[in-house]
Amino acid sequence: MARDGFELENFLPYRLNRAAEFVALRFAAQYKARYQLTRPEWRTLAALGSSGRSMTATEIGAHSTMHKTKVSRAVFSLEQRRWLKREEDGRDRRFEHLALTPAGEQAYKELTELASRYQAELLSMLGTEDMSALSTGLRAIERAMRKSAPEA
Amino acid sequence: MARDGFELENFLPYRLNRAAEFVALRFAAQYKARYQLTRPEWRTLAALGSSGRSMTATEIGAHSTMHKTKVSRAVFSLEQRRWLKREEDGRDRRFEHLALTPAGEQAYKELTELASRYQAELLSMLGTEDMSALSTGLRAIERAMRKSAPEA
DNA sequence: AATCAATAGTTACGATTGTAACCAATATAA
DNA sequence: TTATATTGGTTACAATCGTAACTATTGATT
């Protein structure tokens, strides 16, 4: 096929991107259909819900590698939906402490079940062995990210 | 940390996306700086260059999982740059056969070297073992994609 | 204090994207 | 034939995104 040493099919950024998109899109289809959630919204909800405490917008961004503005917009729309409320920090009024409302908690719980089911589905698609190989590989990248992290 | 079974940190779509973004961004920084190429442009160039033959826009899209319109725009700008030329199909004039010009080939070759260096850098960041685990895992996803492929 | 720098978050704006509608050419079928 | 459907590719338009500029607040420096 190719005439030289380089093979696009073996190029890691290419492969990772393709795989990530495939896996993400199938899940996004679910929460979009059932909850009319966008990706940044789901990510924000997940960050808050899974941490189990209130967080600032900046924390959410760092945690989920989303841009400030994305977080800001997602927070706004989750607030509109009454899934999230802001509380100002008494000591430093620049901060906003964001927390899920009971409705938000409930939504998170339901989405969490969707997510767990999806994860299980993926596991059965890949098989235990390949899944754990993937996990090992991803862990290595996560390690590398922490080291050389200029952060997106 | 979390109060329930679900852990965002272990959720595959989340982890894959994070990793893919990290890996892609560091490479994109290189070709953007050196060649003022956008991501869809690089992907189109790579698809054409690595196949070593002329392709139609649809083929490029299928190969690199890019939307029609993205391909269309990338093709247009590569054409402006004289890195790519179109040839119409005599039998079926709907098709456009896209091929790299000598200048395009040259650019592809240079970018290919960048890419190979980057791949090597990644390998040394992850180590041989983790890299091959990652590759195994990705291969499993690629397999799954081929099966259930509704294609993005 | 008064000034300057830094930080949290929002927003205006330009760029990039995808959906849907479109044009052109070919294939199918009446 | 002449409809009708399909397919390759482009484009108008609306939505989404990120950069950069902004507001507000706090911290540091004088």
CA distance A113 to A102: 17
Per the CB < 8 A criterion, the answer to whether A103 and A65 are in contact is no
- The pLDDT score that the predictor gives to residue A64 is 87
Tens of pLDDT, residue by residue, chain B (152 residues): 555 678 888 999 999 999 999 999 999 999 999 999 999 999 999 999 999 999 999 999 998 889 999 999 999 999 999 999 999 998 999 999 999 999 999 999 999 999 999 999 999 999 999 999 999 999 999 999 888 754 33
* Contact state of A136 with B141 under an 8 Å Cβ cutoff: no
Residue B3 CB partners (closer than 8 Å, separation 6+):
A52
Residue B55 CB partners (closer than 8 Å, separation 6+):
B47, B48, B63, B97, B98, B99
Q: Give chain A's residues under pLDDT 50.
A: 150-152
CA distance B85 to B78: 8
Q: 3-state secondary structure string, chain B?
A: CCCCCCCHHHCHHHHHHHHHHHHHHHHHHHHHHHHCCCHHHHHHHHHHHHHCCCECHHHHHHHHCCCHHHHHHHHHHHHHCCCEEEEECCCCCCCEEEEECHHHHHHHHHHHHHHHHHHHHHHHHHCHHHHHHHHHHHHHHHHHHHHHCCCC
Give, in Å, how far the C1' of D21 lies from the CA of B73: 30
CA distance B85 to B99: 6
CA distances from B32 to A29, A150, B130 (A): 32, 17, 29
- The pLDDT score that the predictor gives to residue A80 is 96
How does pLDDT run across A6-29, given as a tens digit for each residue?
888 999 999 999 999 999 999 999
- The pLDDT score that the predictor gives to residue B150 is 45
Number of other CB atoms surrounding residue B98 within 10 Å: 23
The CATH number given to A38-134 is: 1.10.10.10
Nucleotide nearest to A55 (CA to C1'): C8
CA distance A15 to A19: 6
Give, in Å, how far the C1' of D27 lies from the CA of A57: 21
- The pLDDT score that the predictor gives to residue B7 is 84
Paired residues of B87 in beta bridges: B97
- The pLDDT score that the predictor gives to residue B44 is 97
- The pLDDT score that the predictor gives to residue B102 is 98
Cα end-to-end span (Å), chain B: 35
- The pLDDT score that the predictor gives to residue B4 is 61
CA distance B109 to B35: 13
Domain ranges of chain A: 38-134
**Chain B residues near residue A135 by CB distance under 8 angstroms:** 15, 137
* Contact state of A23 with B6 under an 8 Å Cβ cutoff: no
> Helix axis angle, B12-35 relative to A102-126, nearest 10°?
80
* Contact state of B13 with A20 under an 8 Å Cβ cutoff: yes
Cα end-to-end span (Å), chain A: 35
Question: Which nucleotides of chain C does any protein CB come within 7 A of?
Answer: 7-12, 16-20, 24-27
Domain B38-119 listed as CATH 1.10.10.10:
yes
The three-class DSSP label of residue A141 is helix
Give, in Å, how far the C1' of D27 lies from the CA of A88: 19
- The pLDDT score that the predictor gives to residue A152 is 35
Element at A117 (helix H, strand E) = helix A102-126
> Is strand D in 7 Å reach of the CB of B58?
yes
> Is strand D in 7 Å reach of the CB of A67?
yes
Q: Pick from A15, A27, A133: which is nearest to B133 by CB?
A: A133
Nucleotide nearest to B70 (CA to C1'): C17
- The pLDDT score that the predictor gives to residue A101 is 98
* Contact state of A137 with B140 under an 8 Å Cβ cutoff: no
Per the CB < 8 A criterion, the answer to whether A84 and A104 are in contact is yes
Per the CB < 8 A criterion, the answer to whether A131 and B141 are in contact is no
